[in-house]
Amino acid sequence: MESFVFPGNIEPEISLIASQPIPYMRTAAFSAIVKSSEQMLLNLIGCPNGRIIFYTASGTGAMDAVVANYVSRSNRIFIISGGSFGDRWRNICDYYNLPSTLYKIPFAQDIDYEDLEREVALKRPEIFLCQHHETSTGQLFNLEKISAICKKYNVSLVVDVISSFLADPLNMSDLGIDICITSSQKGLNIAPGLSFVILSDRLSSVTFKANGYYFDFKENLKNLQRGQTPYSPATTLFLQLHERLKRDVACGVDTIISTVRKRALYFRSLCKQYGWKVPAETPSNCITGFFVNRNADILFEKMIEKGFYIMPGGTPGYFRVSHLGIQDEESLSELARTIHQIELL
Amino acid sequence: MESFVFPGNIEPEISLIASQPIPYMRTAAFSAIVKSSEQMLLNLIGCPNGRIIFYTASGTGAMDAVVANYVSRSNRIFIISGGSFGDRWRNICDYYNLPSTLYKIPFAQDIDYEDLEREVALKRPEIFLCQHHETSTGQLFNLEKISAICKKYNVSLVVDVISSFLADPLNMSDLGIDICITSSQKGLNIAPGLSFVILSDRLSSVTFKANGYYFDFKENLKNLQRGQTPYSPATTLFLQLHERLKRDVACGVDTIISTVRKRALYFRSLCKQYGWKVPAETPSNCITGFFVNRNADILFEKMIEKGFYIMPGGTPGYFRVSHLGIQDEESLSELARTIHQIELL
């Protein structure tokens, strides 16, 4: 299969790492892998003095962990929702009976940042939860503008960068983000199963809540000082992560992002050629979300029959193609041609 | 490395599955893998009409999930602790401010079941949390006797079978166990990263608590009806799991367990030969825990240098060797010989 869903196509050398004999995690060698992965990831995300909590869990596990450890009933919570992942922040807060203000953005549109500032000035939240890229629509939000508002009104900024990290420029320190979360199978392009909470050094003296045993920040941070997780981690994924991070550091963030961007722009030129509307006002480089013109009801299954994974979009006629992982102009052209052939059936 | 820690040595055909192109989880094909894995696992554990929740998480994640979803402050909770995993049940209950009675068993000893019954008769608990095999000491508890007490006093029985499943005989229905938990890297002998909560059909009408978003039983069960997990699962591990379960079903539980048992008995004969004391009163087939006579302080690292992973034991001079995964008498003899050589240094 050619995969245009996360994590995309992976280099055989990285894939094969998952088949190596499984290392024992309670060794100095494994601790060294964890410690070195932590520092590389911190450098890549622009937070060299921060800390990272590694979870064997999906990205939603990391979102849950942030709310359970960092958000209290006493905090005034402000949530941006531009789709199902923004709604997930809200659902998690509701689940724990944490009242929040939901600021809804219409499908695939950008935020009206002046209106957002008025709302923030009115509500005076203490914690701001948002996505950098709302993966369900393809819309990228402007973190510089969000960050400026949060700084002005002294709001703690928490950003889900699950699908924007290593696809769109991001520097935690410059933006003054307190917490970012991401996961293994997006920009890091390895198998799913690991997620990460990146804590800025500004939080080093914060006392976290204790509301989730497995996800507890304090217990995880204590163990990570010696390069260990408190419970058995997905060791094979850690080995893949370590190799990927070494390659990413060698390549450099700017080159990685510009490569993803080129693919995204190329595929969008094909969308234009075939007459598929890309609704995102300022799309992320991570995916292209687009409306096909015909046969949307059979497209997903027919594409699998023809050897392509693409993502259904949740909105009728809407599909998403990831630009992460191995792909080139030729493979994107073939993908678009195949979608078009199904439209013509 | 020769691995005598979990998951042990794995057949190359199973290992290589983790390196296959990564499947997209939102497909009928992936749902079929999840559904078929669920039924095979239910059959292997003797609970054909139960349900399984699959978590991308370690076994502790599944323990956390059980306490967060099934145990309330209003329940009288009774915990068996024969070591660090029994203590973990207690720690999780303490973490959530759930008062419990801790019934302590001395290191590597069996339970005095008559005394246990007196305590249960006195405390009249509603929920009983225990291990089948206390992995930190090697001691196997008698689930027939525990189950008889729970049935007599109408206590709901929850058992961590993380390291006994497919190592020691276990039939959930016969024993009247309400919930079992296990994980991918023990008897199932695949990479770590998945854990499982197995719910007996007696719980089909129970309303679970909502105290952990990622681990929420209700949300997970709703999605599993169509063979899906609510959040991105560790798909590569699911592929390994499916193949492993097919092989286990074809082989049969009795054959699997008798193979593990033969290895355990053989290694214990070597322990006797070298004068290493095995303290467990009724040891599980899963591991052999033993005291070496000399050089315990350098043994773990020296064994790694010589190409063997064994488990340090937490008690001075005490080590553990797993009997899961590929191993034969020759490899066990070489292992014992190597340990002895280090004793003689």
Q: Which of A129, A168, A169 is nearest to A146 (CA)?
A: A129
Per-residue confidence band for A343, with pLDDT thresholds at 50, 70 and 90: very high
Interval A22-37 mean pLDDT: 97
Neighbouring C-alpha atoms within 13 Å toward the C-beta of A12:
1
- Shortest Cα distance from B254 to chain A (angstroms)? 27
DSSP letter at B175? H
Smallest Cβ–Cβ distance between A192 and the set B19, B212, B235 belongs to B235
- Domain locations along chain A: 12-251, 253-343
- pLDDT score, position A149: 98
Distance between A231 CA and the closest CA of chain B, angstroms: 6
Contacts of A68 in chain B (CB under 8 A): 212-213
Dump pLDDT digits (tens) for A240-250: 999 999 999 99
In this structure, how many other beta carbons lie within 10 angstroms of the beta carbon of residue B304? 16
C-beta of residue A36 within 8 angstroms of C-beta of residue A242: yes
Average pLDDT, chain B: 97
B246 band by pLDDT with thresholds 50, 70 and 90: very high
In this complex, the residue of B3, B16, B60 whose CB is nearest that of residue A19 is: B16
Secondary structure letter of residue B337 according to DSSP:
H
Nearest to B4 by CA among B263, B241, B283: B263
- Tell me the nearest-neighbour CA distance from B152 into chain A, angstroms: 32
DSSP assignment letter at B316 = T
How far apart are the C-alpha atoms of B41 and B34, rounded to whole Å? 10
CA distances from A254 to A143, A233, A286, B301 (A): 18, 31, 14, 41
Structure token digits, residue B24: 């997209």
Instruction: Say if the Cβ atoms of B193 and A96 lie within 8 Å.
Output: no
Residue of A nearest to B2 (CA): A21
ipTM for the whole predicted complex goes beyond 0.90: yes
Q: Name the CATH superfamily, with its identifier, for domain B254-343.
A: Aspartate Aminotransferase, domain 1 (3.90.1150.10)
Locate B2 and state its tokens. 């020769």
A149-198: pLDDT as tens digits: 999 999 999 999 999 999 999 999 999 999 999 999 999 999 999 999 99
Q: How far is A113 from chain B (nearest CA, A)?
A: 31
CB within 8 Å: B56 and A59: no
Q: What is the pLDDT of residue A220?
A: 98
Q: Tokens at residue B305, please?
A: 């240098």
Give the residue from A236, A308, A326 with the most B CB atoms within 10 Å of its CB, the best one to mutate: A236
The predicted pLDDT at position A113 comes to 98
Is residue B263 part of an annotated ligand binding site?
A: no
Contact A208, A69 (CB under 8 A): yes
CA of B197 vs chain A CAs: smallest distance (Å): 15
Please report residues of A whose CB lies closer than 8 A to that of B96. 213
Q: For an interface test with B, which of A232, A299, A308, A310 has the most B Cβ atoms less than 10 Å from its Cβ? A: A232
- Count Cβ atoms within 10 A of the Cβ of residue B289 and give its class: 0-12 exposed, 13-18 middle, 19 or more buried: buried
Mean pLDDT on B195-222: 97
Q: Which of A27, A59, A216 is nearest residue B304 as measured by Cβ atoms? A: A27
CB neighbours of A266 closer than 8 A, spacing ≥ 6? A329, A332
B96-128 confidence digits (pLDDT tens): 999 999 999 999 999 999 999 999 999 999 999
Does the domain at A253-343 match CATH 3.90.1150.10? Answer given as yes
Q: Which tokens in the block code for residue B233? A: 């699962």
Q: What is the rounded distance in angstroms from the CA atom of residue A227 to the CA atom of residue A224? A: 5
Report the percent of chain B where pLDDT is more than 90. 99
Secondary structure (H, E, C), chain A: CEECCCCCCCCHHHHHHCCCCCCCCCCHHHHHHHHHHHHHHHHHCCCCCCEEEEEECCHHHHHHHHHHHHCCCCCCEEEEECCHHHHHHHHHHHHCCCCEEEEECCCCCCCCHHHHHHHHHHHCCCEEEEECEECCCCEECCHHHHHHHHHHCCCEEEEECCCCECCECCCHHHHCCCEEEEECCCCCCCCCCEEEEEECHHHCCCCCCCCCCCCCHHHHHHHHCCCCCCCCCCHHHHHHHHHHHHHHHHHCHHHHHHHHHHHHHHHHHHHHHHCCECCCCCECCCEEEEECCCCHHHHHHHHHHCCEECEECCCCCEEEEECCCCCCHHHHHHHHHHHHHHHCC
Interface test with B, best of A17, A22, A197 (most B CBs within 10 A): A22
Candidates 3.30.2350.10, 3.40.50.2300, 3.40.640.10, 3.20.20.70; correct CATH number of A12-251?
3.40.640.10
Residue of A nearest to B209 (CA): A95
Task: Give the residue on A whose Cα is nearest the Cα of B67.
Answer: A213
Do the bridges between strand B311-312 and strand B318-322 make them parallel or antiparallel, or are there none, so unpaired?
Answer: antiparallel
